[in-house]
């Protein structure tokens, strides 16, 4: 074997070993995202951590975490949590603006900031107003919660609103292919118009039924059981969720007023029968 042939084989052997070593490294499920900083460790923050921590290095920050829930995750300062590839704001809608103001100086250029609030126009404006221009912004609204997503997320729905940048494409692909969610791409305004009905009325009716209790459990129809089931899915949500849905959505008041007016008209036209009759 000539010296040139042996040298060629050694060179190619090293090249293939290098390629094999590169292929053996685990590929991140989303390009350019290896670390996630999660702000907020309430009910939904814990749900996020449960499903995303197997895929990414996760750091959590919450000023008042529940001690029994923190053992499985790495908690750190606000600055270190914000210094991540993807920052998720799982804080109340009313706290989005102040959280953005607190973390803006700690964000990495080119990172992604994403919220999970129940309304999108309010949170989109807060992120645009208070976060640097070199940060991509995405608004999401998972259309499920801890009560309705106790097991797998497969088949659940999530709204994805791109606010700034192109990161929504890779994030949407991850949500579809890895978490098997149904992803709906729409604008913050379109989201809030639909959510004013789908969420606004659901939470309003659930709030009323809860205050009417205790409700019958024996002489129930299938439709009433389904109504109780829907009520049970949202009745334990934190008070700030109801406030956000009914007060922060700019379309909620019109939907609510129309609904209440129709109920009042319906009640006024019904004949009243006394129990003694």
Phi, psi of 59 (to 5 degrees): -120, 140
Whole-number Å distance between alpha carbons of 55 and 27: 10
pLDDT at 150: 77
Whole-number Å distance between alpha carbons of 66 and 46: 10
Percent of the chain with pLDDT over 70: 90
**CB count, 10 Å around CB of 64?**
6
Whole-number Å distance between alpha carbons of 34 and 116: 20
Closest listed residue to residue 97, CA positions, set 124, 61, 63:
124
Cβ contact 68:213 at 8 Å: no
CATH number, domain 35-186: 3.40.50.720
C-alpha atoms less than 13 angstroms from C-alpha of 213 in its C-beta half-sphere: 12
What predicted TM-score, i.e. pTM, was given to this entire model? 0.84
Percent of the chain with pLDDT over 90: 72
DSSP designation for 140: E
- pLDDT tens for each residue of 218-274: 999 999 999 999 898 888 888 889 999 999 999 999 999 999 999 999 999 998 887
Domain residue ranges in the chain: 35-186, 197-268
């Amino acid at each position: 074997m000539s010296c040139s042939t042996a040298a060629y084989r050694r060179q190619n052997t090293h090249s293939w070993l290098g390629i094999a070593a590169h292929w053996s490294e685990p590929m991140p499920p989303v390009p350019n995202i290896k670390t996630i900083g999660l702000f907020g460790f309430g009910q939904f923050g814990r749900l996020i951590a449960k499903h995303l921590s197997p895929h990414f290095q996760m750091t959590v920050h919450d000023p008042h975490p529940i001690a029994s829930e923190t053992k499985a995750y790495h908690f750190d300062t606000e600055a270190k949590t914000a210094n991540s590839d993807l920052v998720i704001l799982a804080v109340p809608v009313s706290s989005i603006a102040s959280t953005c103001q607190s973390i803006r100086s700690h964000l990495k250029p080119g990172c992604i900031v994403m919220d999970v609030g129940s309304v999108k126009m309010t949170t989109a404006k807060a992120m645009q107003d208070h976060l640097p221009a070199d940060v991509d912004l995405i608004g999401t609204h998972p259309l499920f919660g801890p009560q309705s997503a106790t097991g797998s997320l497969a088949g659940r729905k999530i709204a994805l609103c791109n606010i700034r940048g192109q990161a929504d494409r890779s994030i949407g692909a991850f949500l579809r292919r890895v978490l098997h969610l149904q992803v709906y791409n729409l604008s913050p305004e379109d989201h809030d118009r639909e959510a004013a009905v789908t969420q606004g009325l659901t939470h309003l009716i659930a709030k009323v039924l809860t205050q009417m209790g205790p409700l019958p459990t024996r002489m129930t129809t299938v439709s009433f059981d389904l109504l109780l089931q829907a009520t049970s899915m949202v009745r334990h949500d934190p008070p700030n969720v109801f406030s956000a849905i009914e007060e922060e959505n700019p379309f909620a008041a019109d939907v609510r007023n129309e609904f209440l007016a129709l109920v009042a008209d319906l009640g006024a036209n019904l004949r009243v029968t006394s129990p003694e009759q």
